[in-house]
Chain A
Amino acid sequence: MKGNEALAEAAILAGCDGYFGYPITPQSEIMEYLMAEQPMHRTGMVVLQAESEIASINMVYGGAGAGKRVMTSSSSPGISLMQEGISYLAGAELPCVIVNVVRGGPGLGTIQPAQSDYFQSVKGGGHGDYKMITLAPFSVQEMADFVALGFDLAFKYRIPVMILSDGAIGQMMEKVVLPVQRPRWTEQEIREMSPWATVGRTKDRHNNIITSLNLKSDVQEEHNRQLQAKYKTIIENEVRYEESYCEDAEVILIAYGTSARICQKAVDIARHQGIKLGLLRPISLFPFPEAALIKYAEKVKGFLSVEMSAGQMVEDIRLVVEGKTKVAHYGRMGGIVPTTDEIIENVKNLIN
Chain B
Amino acid sequence: MTEEIIIAGFGGQGVLSMGKILAYSGIMQDLEVSWMPSYGPEMRGGTANVTVILSNERISSPILSQFDTAIILNQQSMDKFEETVKPGGILIYDSNGITHHPTRKDIQIFRIDANDEAGKLGLKKVFNMIVLGGFLKIKPIVNLDNIHKGLEKSLPARYHHLIAENEKAITRGMEIIYQVDPA
Nearest B-chain residue to A140, judged by Cβ: B34
Question: What residues of chain A lie closer than 8 Å to B12, measured between beta carbons?
Answer: none
| CB of B51 to closest CB in A, whole Å | 9
Q: Is the CB of B60 within 8 A of A26?
A: no
Q: Is the CB of A262 within 8 A of B39?
A: no
Total interface residues on B, using CB and 8 Å? 18
| CB of A335 to closest CB in B, whole Å | 9
Question: What residues of chain B lie closer than 8 Å to A341, measured between beta carbons?
Answer: 65
Q: Is the CB of A168 within 8 A of B36?
A: yes
In-complex Cβ contact of A171 among B23, B36, B59 (8 A): B36
> How large, as a class, is the contact surface on chain A?
20 to 34
| CB of A105 to closest CB in B, whole Å | 15
Question: What residues of chain A lie closer than 8 Å to B142, measured between beta carbons?
Answer: none
| CB of A61 to closest CB in B, whole Å | 31
Q: Is the CB of B63 within 8 A of A111?
A: no
Q: How far is the CA of A172 from the CA of B23 in the complex (A)?
A: 11
Q: How far is the CA of A265 from the CA of B2 in the complex (A)?
A: 13
Q: CB of A51 within 8 A of chain B? A: no
Question: What residues of chain B lie closer than 8 Å to A26, measured between beta carbons?
Answer: 39-40
Q: How far is the CA of A34 from the CA of B20 in the complex (A)?
A: 21
| CB of A308 to closest CB in B, whole Å | 11
Q: Is the CB of B34 within 8 A of A111?
A: no
Nearest A-chain residue to B35, judged by Cβ: A173
| CB of B149 to closest CB in A, whole Å | 14
Kindly supply a per-residue 1/0 record for chain B positions 55-93, scoring 1 wherever the CB is within 8 Å of any chain A CB and 0 otherwise. 000011111010000000000000000000000000000
Kindly supply a per-residue 1/0 record for chain A positions 156-169, scoring 1 wherever the CB is within 8 Å of any chain B CB and 0 otherwise. 00000000000110
| CB of B7 to closest CB in A, whole Å | 14
Q: How far is the CA of A264 from the CA of B27 in the complex (A)?
A: 22
Q: Is the CB of A175 within 8 A of B27?
A: yes
Q: Is the CB of B60 within 8 A of A264?
A: yes
The verdict on A340 contacting B61 (CB below 8 Å), with A111-B40, A112-B40, A173-B20 known, is yes
| CB of A142 to closest CB in B, whole Å | 13
Kindly supply a per-residue 1/0 record for chain A positions 94-105, scoring 1 wherever the CB is within 8 Å of any chain B CB and 0 otherwise. 000000000000
Question: What residues of chain B lie closer than 8 Å to A167, measured between beta carbons?
Answer: 39
Q: CB of B167 within 8 A of chain A? A: no
Nearest B-chain residue to A279, judged by Cβ: B60
Question: What residues of chain B lie closer than 8 Å to A337, measured between beta carbons?
Answer: 63
Q: How far is the CA of A231 from the CA of B37 in the complex (A)?
A: 38
Q: How far is the CA of A268 from the CA of B33 in the complex (A)?
A: 18
Q: Which of A232-280 contact B (CB under 8 A)?
A: 258, 261-262, 264-265, 268
Q: CB of A25 within 8 A of chain B? A: yes
Q: How far is the CA of A61 from the CA of B126 in the complex (A)?
A: 49
Q: CB of B32 within 8 A of chain A? A: yes
Q: CB of A38 within 8 A of chain B? A: no
Q: Is the CB of A171 within 8 A of B39?
A: yes
In-complex Cβ contact of A174 among B20, B59, B63 (8 A): B59
Q: Which of A25-49 contact B (CB under 8 A)?
A: 25-26
Nearest A-chain residue to B24, judged by Cβ: A173
| CB of B175 to closest CB in A, whole Å | 30
Q: How far is the CA of A268 from the CA of B60 in the complex (A)?
A: 9
Kindly supply a per-residue 1/0 record for chain A positions 1-42, scoring 1 wherever the CB is within 8 Å of any chain B CB and 0 otherwise. 000000000000000000000000110000000000000000
What are the 10 tightest A-B residue pairs by CB atom distance, in nearest-first order?
A264-B60, A173-B35, A265-B61, A265-B60, A262-B61, A172-B36, A339-B65, A111-B40, A261-B61, A171-B39
Report which A residues bind B (CB closer than 8 A).
25-26, 111-112, 167-168, 171-175, 258, 261-262, 264-265, 268, 337, 339-341
12 contacts between A and B (CB under 8 A): A111-B40, A112-B40, A167-B39, A173-B20, A173-B36, A175-B27, A175-B33, A258-B62, A261-B62, A262-B60, A265-B60, A339-B65
Instruction: Supply 11 further A-B pairs (C-beta < 8 A) apart from A112-B40, A171-B36.
Output: A26-B39, A111-B39, A168-B62, A172-B34, A172-B35, A173-B35, A174-B33, A261-B62, A261-B63, A264-B60, A339-B65
